[in-house]
Amino acid sequence: MSDGGYDGYAYGYPHKTSYGPLHPPVPLERAWQTEDKKKLFLYVHLPFCEMRCGFCNLFTTVQPGAGLVQQTIAAIHRQSEIVAGAIAPERIAQAAFGGGTPSFLSEGEIEQLFSKLRGTWPVQWQGIPVSFEVSPGTITREKLVLLKCMGVDRISMGVQSFVPQDLVALKRPQPAGQLEQACRMIKAAGFPVFNIDLIYGNEGQDSKRWQTSLERALEWSPEELYLYPLYIRNLTNLDRSGKRPAEHRRDLYRQARDFLLAAGYRQVSMRLFRRADINRATDYCCQEDGMVGLGPGARSYTQSLHYSSEYAVGQPGVRSIIEKFNVQDSPGYACADYGVMLDEHEQKLRYVIKSLLRTAGISHGEYQRRFGSSMEEDVPQLLELFELGLATDDNSVLRLNDEGMVWSDTIGPWLYSDAVTSRMDVYELT
């Protein structure tokens, strides 16, 4: 394992930059034929934002105008019907609206979106975890009331930092007081889970400033906190202006971890900390169950195929992918034409990576039940983690120790297969 460290994160495997054109395209009916459809995750991607933040390379476009938003919602409606018809879902166990910034939609547009999904998908909206991402500049009291009525139980806000100098360094301008006002509204609306995203490691952020941001976050008693080490990604504004992340991101991580554990939070992964009294139950298992993505940029996962629309960061590329998505119909929505196939070894690696990077670790019994083989034999690299002092094994569960967790963003990519790594190496971002 190299000491390269924090280059990117492994929240999904295989990474989207390993996707490519599928020849021939795979009909969704066939792709989903043998899947368990009783515990699906429905993900809806809304690729719209007010502005492009300096650090962000997500699939989104800024200031799209009402016409493009309307066309995209109409296209998601068509896609929704065609996809549901093709895959015959039995039950949605969890749902999320991400982006981009879903709260960029007006109240009327949010209502439109939900009403169509209600009619198409087998979802008990009030009985399952439903998450919705918002930004401080686009969320309003009225939208929050509406979201609650629609069954949303988790609001996730990209705060990034409570310290104005950090927001300047991250190139995420925000009017004074806007952040606090948004937090106040969300708290007052009384959602079961309020998540705050923070970034650490931008230029000029020392441990004192990071501490201030963490303490301000806890003033809102968020049920969850996602802490992201800053990554400078290709084609972002920070990258173009030659910025580099701070050297001491690991120290900032340790500082936050110790502070949050002492403040009554439990660690779920290197990024996610949850208040100890919170239990947001779901029977969806991210290592095993399928994900159905709707909207341009959304990814979908079956056991052996991951697919999406194409991906871009630059505005012309993003716009053209959205426009192409918006004029599609059947058979376009009924087939996967861009993605990556996962053979049995890739499926095992995915299971190992997704499990190992969480504090819960990998259960030997679960692995054996799932694959009928032993994880050390399938992925012998895991044994090196013990030699490096990064993992423990009590014969029941193999898990990263505290130091291993510090290195999770290195361990994830280190486990990627050669095939996936070489696909990622030749990927050209536009």
Ligand X SMILES: C[S@@+](CC[C@H](N)C(=O)[O-])C[C@H]1O[C@@H](n2cnc3c(N)ncnc32)[C@H](O)[C@@H]1O
Q: What is the 3-state secondary structure (H, E, C) of 50-106?
A: CCCCCCCCCCCEECCHHHHHHHHHHHHHHHHHHHHHHHCCCCEEEEEEEECCHHHCC
Nearer to ligand X (CB atom), residue 102 or residue 361: 102
Fill in the per-residue mask, 126 to 155: x = in contact with ligand SF4 (CB under 6 A), - = not in contact: ---------x--------------------
Instruction: List strand residue ranges (DSSP E) for 100-143, in order.
Output: 130-134
Nearer to ligand X (CB atom), residue 11 or residue 125: 11
Please report how close the Cβ of residue 159 comes to ligand SF4 at its closest, in angstroms.
Answer: 11
Please report how close the Cβ of residue 53 comes to ligand X at its closest, in angstroms.
Answer: 6
Which of 64, 129, 158, 404 binds ligand SF4 (CB under 6 A)? It is 158
- Half-sphere exposure in the Cβ direction for 231 (13 Å, CA): 16
- Alpha-carbon span 178 to 170, nearest angstrom: 17
Which contiguous run of DSSP H or E holds residue 197?
strand 193-200
Select the binding partner of residue 228 from ligand SF4, ligand X, none (C-beta < 5 to 8 A, by kind). ligand X
Binding residues vs ligand X (CB under 6 A): 55-56, 58, 98-99, 101, 133, 135, 157-158, 160, 197, 199, 228, 230-231, 233
- φ and ψ of 25, to 5 deg: -60, 150
How many residues of this chain interact with ligand SF4, rule: CB under 6 A?
11
Cβ 379 vs Cβ 352: under 8 Å:
yes
For CA atoms 335, 336, 342, 343, give the dihedral sign. positive
- Within 8 A by CB and 6+ apart from 267, the residues are 257, 260, 261, 273, 359, 405
CA angle centred on 244, ends 64 and 400, rounded to 5°: 95
Cβ 26 vs Cβ 304: under 8 Å:
no
- The residue number with the shortest CB distance to ligand X is 158
Which of 89, 100, 245, 295 binds ligand SF4 (CB under 6 A)? It is 100
Which contiguous run of DSSP H or E holds residue 183?
helix 178-189
DSSP, collapsed to helix, strand or coil, labels residue 396 as: coil
Is residue 157 within the footprint of ligand SF4 (CB under 6 A)? no
Nearest CA-CA partner of 208 in 161, 152, 159: 161
Select the binding partner of residue 321 from ligand X, ligand SF4, none (C-beta < 5 to 8 A, by kind). none
Which of 64, 99, 296, 361 binds ligand SF4 (CB under 6 A)? It is 99
Is residue 53 within the footprint of ligand SF4 (CB under 6 A)? yes
Select the binding partner of residue 230 from ligand X, ligand SF4, none (C-beta < 5 to 8 A, by kind). ligand X
Which of 15, 46, 60, 162 binds ligand SF4 (CB under 6 A)? It is 60
Is residue 101 within the footprint of ligand SF4 (CB under 6 A)? yes
Please report how close the Cβ of residue 185 comes to ligand X at its closest, in angstroms.
Answer: 14
Which of 10, 44, 46, 56 binds ligand SF4 (CB under 6 A)? It is 56
Please report how close the Cβ of residue 135 comes to ligand X at its closest, in angstroms.
Answer: 3
Please report how close the Cβ of residue 32 comes to ligand X at its closest, in angstroms.
Answer: 26
Cβ 39 vs Cβ 52: under 8 Å:
no
Select the binding partner of residue 52 from ligand X, ligand SF4, none (C-beta < 5 to 8 A, by kind). ligand SF4
Please report how close the Cβ of residue 193 comes to ligand SF4 at its closest, in angstroms.
Answer: 19
- Alpha-carbon span 164 to 276, nearest angstrom: 29
- Alpha-carbon span 119 to 138, nearest angstrom: 27
Q: What is the DSSP letter of 35?
A: S
Binding site for ligand SF4 (CB under 6 A): 49, 52-53, 56, 58, 60, 99-101, 135, 158
